[in-house]
Amino acid sequence: MQRVMDVMVSGHRQFMDVLEAARTRRGGFFRNVTLVTSGDGPDVRTVVLREISPGSLVVFTDRRSPKFSQLQDDDRAAIHAYDQKTKLQVRGYGTCQLVTGDKIPQKFLREAMQRREDYAGFLSPGEKLDAGQAWDMDLDQASQNLALILFKPHLWDVLELHVEGHRRFGWNLEDGEWVGSWRAP
- 12 within some domain: yes
Does residue 84 sit within a domain?
A: yes
The pTM score is 0.93
Q: Which amino acid is at 147?
A: A
pLDDT in tens, 18-31: 999 999 999 999 99
| Position 79 in a domain | yes
23-27, 90-94, 132-136, 157-161 — which is least confidently predicted?
132-136
Total number of domains constituting the chain:
1
* 163 assigned to some structural domain: yes
Considering the domain boundaries, does residue 124 fall inside one?
no
Percent of the chain whose pLDDT exceeds 90: 84
Boundaries of domain holding 178: 4-117+137-183
Q: Determine the Cα–Cα distance for residues 152 and 95; give it in Å rounded to an integer.
A: 5
Closest CA to 170 of 152, 158, 153, 161: 158
Q: Is residue 127 part of a domain?
A: no
Can you tell me the distance from the alpha carbon of 43 to that of 40, in angstroms, rounded to the nearest whole number?
Answer: 8
Query: Is residue 57, in this structure, part of any structural domain at all?
Result: yes
pLDDT in tens, 56-112: 999 999 999 999 999 999 999 999 999 999 999 999 999 999 999 999 999 999 999
Residue 87 covered by a domain: yes
CB 139 within 8 A of CB 117: yes
How many C-beta atoms surround the C-beta of residue 166 within 10 A?
Answer: 12
Q: What is the CATH number of the domain that holds 100?
A: 2.30.110.10
Q: Nearest-CA neighbor of 155 among 137, 181, 136, 134?
A: 181
